[in-house]
Structure 1
Amino acid sequence: MPRPVRLALSDLLLLGMIGIRTRRVRAALSALGISIGIATMIVVTGIPASSQRALEAELTALGTNRLKAVADSSLAAPGETVAFPQEAAAMVSRIGPVRAVTDVANTRTKVRRSDRLDSRNAAGLMVLAARRNLPEVLNAHVRSGTYLTEATERFPTVVLGSHAAARLGHLDLVPGEPPPQILLGNRWFSVVGILRSIPLAPDIDRAVLVGWDAARDALGFDGRPTQLFVEAEEAAMEDVREVLPETIAPENPGLVKVSRPSDALAAKRSAQATFSGLFVGLASVALLVGGIGVANTMVISVLERRREIGLRRALGASRGQIRSQFLTESVALSVLGGFAGVVLGTLATVGYAAYRTWPLVIPLPAAAGGLGGAIVVGVLAGVFPAVRASRLPPTEALSAA
């Protein structure tokens, strides 16, 4: 008995595309079902991912990756100043997950707007010795003037927090005019900058910031910090928090009070888990709907093409060749719909992210998974119709009206 001729891959593709070429509208509608499913997958992953990226940026600005260490003044004897060792910031910077650290120190100096005010009638503001990297660590911005520079931090110049500027009556600095003067202790200092409000550090809003060297020279500052602000990797925040006391003050870790990671960190992690579960659920439903559409189209195609199936069987086509033909058609429909869905989903995500001014995020795993899912759906949707077509007896198929 002669063995049936095996179809080449090119011949199989041509046979599989017959139904698509001859029934273009139906094929387009069927592929549209898959494309909508894949586009939905891209959209429900891309748009929320863009939204999540924007949300993460906002939560990060609230301090989810920052810690604050303060010297516990309750442990001090009356009249004693509690402070950290001078090398505390350098020691903290050696912790692996720490990205940046800045320290400030309360100089215990009184602030007056004018020398005509009694020294007992101070403004009630803190005078803090500060480093030049404070704006970067606290995400602070200058509203008027400039922050301390390598040159100005050595001279009697100050930068005012937003609340301190309002209390002292210096809301803005006018370019070209002499800077206003304030009295720190018995020394005049020039105001060179005013900060915007800092959500991460309300204490800085109520402070007058002086350069570290200027505080040493003019205010009798001993160089020991009283607060540290630490920026670290979010994934290691709890670990960093645990080792900070021993790192800052090895001889007296109980002196160090470390703020817990912001509640926004828990909200951020919860949002990530919620978004991930939502993505999987919506994408699965979308693919299921598309697969049902392809399966329905293929079943109808088999019913309508029974005479073609019977003729091919009568001319010598094997059952395997019939199964391969209809299975190839089903996969081809799904792949075409998958490509169209990736394009539609990407365009929709780009447009919506641009409209909301969100960072654009196109999840490549979702696009690749969408195409892979389209192939799987095509195979599953085509198995039953292909098997049914191969089992049609030639006589029955040819006699179909």
Structure 2
Amino acid sequence: MKRAAAATATRVERPWMDPRDLWTEALAGVLARPVRSALTTLGTVLGITTLVITIGVASTAGDQIVGRFDALTATSVTVKVPAMAPDAEDTGPLVEWSGTDAVRRLAGVDSVAAVGESATANSIQVRSNDVIAPGDTSAQTLAVVAASADLPAAVRGEMTAGRFYDAGNIARHDQVAVLGDQAAKLLGIRRVEDSPAVFFQGQSYTVVGILGGIKREQQLSAAVLLPPTTAADRVGLRTVSRFLVNTALGAARQVARQAPIALAPGHEDALTVVAPPDLSKARDGVQSDVNGLFLVLGLVSLVVGAIGIANVTLVTVMERVGEIGLRRALGASRRQVAQQFLLESTTIGLLGGIVGAALGIAVVVSVAAVKQWTPVLDLRLALGAPLAGALVGLLAGLYPSLRAARMEPVDALRAPS
């Protein structure tokens, strides 16, 4: 008798249910109320869609930002020259103005220019005429800079009027000048066809051109640019202070190592090189910052979806008290009841994850197509989004399923339907 009772108890209180039966019961529970299930799934869909969109768009935008950084900054190298030679006995300049030729021969160099500046020449009273009248305020305090003839290409600028002085002007020590566009505006000079002149320190200089659209060294837009020989004769700017080098994409690091040796063999350590940072680190930094910012928004949306699943699952448990009591009375264990509701919530989360991942990928590709960007999608994100939805559903259904499992059959059957 004891053995028969034990066998009967074992058959009634089976701890595990056939997975196919469990899945059938869970699917029937989800499909029993299709509208409610669809609305519940919508919360997870929105959460997963937001997560995929934010991370995908952030990665795509981060790659675009890095691309622009590559084009504008990662090709710029600056070599700074000290004012004094490292050897006390050497009275000559450390680097000559002709050093641009040596740098230009390096592989990967697109353009190079030499610039000479000094503290005394950074604030000179410049006038557009030589008539000084009482109360006249036409004089402007501008920087006077010596520059080699290839400066426009080095600063990525263009001549908006006239021309830049050439090698002939430099060789003849011509008293000519080129104005940055801001300096020309301050002095009221817009055209150079009539050979306007500027005056400072008792000397006149014929303006032959106006340089505008400067993208690099933008402070030169408010400067008066002189040929190196003229600047040495009239202003005392005899030495080079900086070399501005533009390189092909990817050649900046190599040029930064070779340029000091080409300019000052044996004294290359005396020169200071300013080179762009490593692009891979910059790319990782940009994408990490952007992803971190938008990931928070996606997670918030996902939490909202999880709360929706938990709320609806709990309401479903309350509505199915009679069903739960009947199943317990027919021999279903607490574990089997909990498994059924857990599987229902997990199925809703999984469906939401699949739909949300598909919608998110479609939005990312559409945004990239409209902006003419290259879409950047992490395959792990696309495959992991449905699993994330299932996990959200599983976690959201824990409390409702435990509450359903704790119901006693007698109390559940007596509860109003």
User: TM > 0.5 between the two?
Assistant: yes
Shift of 1:327: 0.7
Shift of 1:14: 1.2
Q: Distance in 1 between matches of 2:163 and 2:109?
A: 29
Aligned to 2:67: 57
Q: Does 1:23 align with 2:18?
A: no
Select between 282-291 and 239-248 the one with higher mean Cα deviation: 239-248
Question: Which of 38, 41, 44 is matched with 2:51 structurally?
Answer: 41
Q: Does 1:370 align with 2:380?
A: no
Q: Does 1:11 align with 2:21?
A: yes
Q: Does 1:396 align with 2:394?
A: no
Shift of 1:67: 1.8
In structure 2, relative to structure 1, the CA distance for the partners of 1:331 and 1:80 (3 Å cut) is closer
Aligned to 1:335: 350
Q: Distance in 2 between matches of 1:79 and 1:375?
A: 69
Q: Distance in 1 between matches of 2:399 and 2:371?
A: 45
Q: Distance in 1 between matches of 2:314 and 2:163?
A: 81
Question: Which of 347, 359, 365 is matched with 2:374 structurally?
Answer: 359
In structure 2, relative to structure 1, the CA distance for the partners of 1:26 and 1:52 (3 Å cut) is same
2:411 aligned counterpart, secondary structure: helix
Aligned to 1:167: 162
Residues 88-126 of structure 1 deviation map (CA, whole Å, 9 limit, x = unaligned): 678x76xxxxxx4456477xxxxxxxxxxxxxxxxx984
Shift of 1:80: 8.1
Q: Does 1:77 align with 2:92?
A: yes
Shift of 1:342: 1.0
1:258 aligned counterpart, secondary structure: strand
Alignment of 1:102-117 (within 5 A): 102=110, 104=112
Shift of 1:398: 1.9
Shift of 1:29: 0.5
Q: Distance in 1 between matches of 2:316 and 2:72?
A: 58
Q: Distance in 1 between matches of 2:46 and 2:336?
A: 31
- The one-letter code matched in structure 2 to 1:167 is G
For these two proteins, the number of residue pairs brought into alignment is: 310
TM-score (norm 2): 0.59
Q: Distance in 2 between matches of 1:306 and 1:79?
A: 92
Q: Distance in 1 between matches of 2:358 and 2:368?
A: 15
Aligned to 1:290: 305
Shift of 1:197: 6.0
- Note if contact 1:307-1:398 (Cα within 8 Å) is conserved in structure 2: yes
1:17 aligned counterpart, secondary structure: helix
Q: Distance in 2 between matches of 1:347 and 1:102?
A: 41
Shift of 1:329: 0.6
Residues 256-291 of structure 1 deviation map (CA, whole Å, 9 limit, x = unaligned): 3423549x9999887545423312311221111111
Q: Does 1:302 align with 2:285?
A: no
Q: Distance in 2 between matches of 1:167 and 1:74?
A: 36
- The one-letter code matched in structure 2 to 1:40 is T
2:78 aligned counterpart, secondary structure: strand
- Note if contact 2:113-2:148 (Cα within 8 Å) is conserved in structure 1: no
Residues 167-212 of structure 1 deviation map (CA, whole Å, 9 limit, x = unaligned): 249xxxxxxxxxxxx97879xxxxxxxxx96735889xx99xxxxx
- The one-letter code matched in structure 2 to 1:302 is V
- The one-letter code matched in structure 2 to 1:327 is L
1:348 aligned counterpart, secondary structure: helix
Alignment of 1:1-400 (within 5 A): 1=7, 2-3=10-11, 4=14, 6-69=16-79, 75=85, 77=92, 81=96, 100-102=108-110, 104=112, 126-128=148-150, 162-163=158-159, 166-168=161-163, 199-200=215-216, 228-230=245-247, 245=260, 249-254=264-269, 256-259=271-274, 261=276, 272-400=287-415
Residues 372-401 of structure 1 deviation map (CA, whole Å, 9 limit, x = unaligned): 321221111111111111221112222222
Q: Distance in 2 between matches of 1:379 and 1:265?
A: 39
- Note if contact 2:54-2:295 (Cα within 8 Å) is conserved in structure 1: no
1:294 aligned counterpart, secondary structure: helix
- The one-letter code matched in structure 1 to 2:395 is L
- Note if contact 2:95-2:264 (Cα within 8 Å) is conserved in structure 1: no
- The one-letter code matched in structure 2 to 1:31 is T
- Note if contact 2:76-2:246 (Cα within 8 Å) is conserved in structure 1: yes
Q: Distance in 2 between matches of 1:248 and 1:396?
A: 93
Residues 66-90 of structure 1 deviation map (CA, whole Å, 9 limit, x = unaligned): 3233666865737983555988678
In structure 2, relative to structure 1, the CA distance for the partners of 1:43 and 1:79 (3 Å cut) is closer
TM-score (norm 1): 0.62
Q: Distance in 2 between matches of 1:388 and 1:348?
A: 39
**Coordinate RMSD, CA, aligned:** 4.6
If you compute each CA radius of gyration, which structure gives the higher value, 1 or 2?
A: 2
Shift of 1:54: 2.8
In structure 2, relative to structure 1, the CA distance for the partners of 1:282 and 1:397 (3 Å cut) is same
Which segments of 5 or more consecutive residues in structure 2 lack a partner in the other structure? Answer: 1-6, 86-90, 115-145, 173-211, 227-242
In structure 2, relative to structure 1, the CA distance for the partners of 1:139 and 1:231 (3 Å cut) is farther
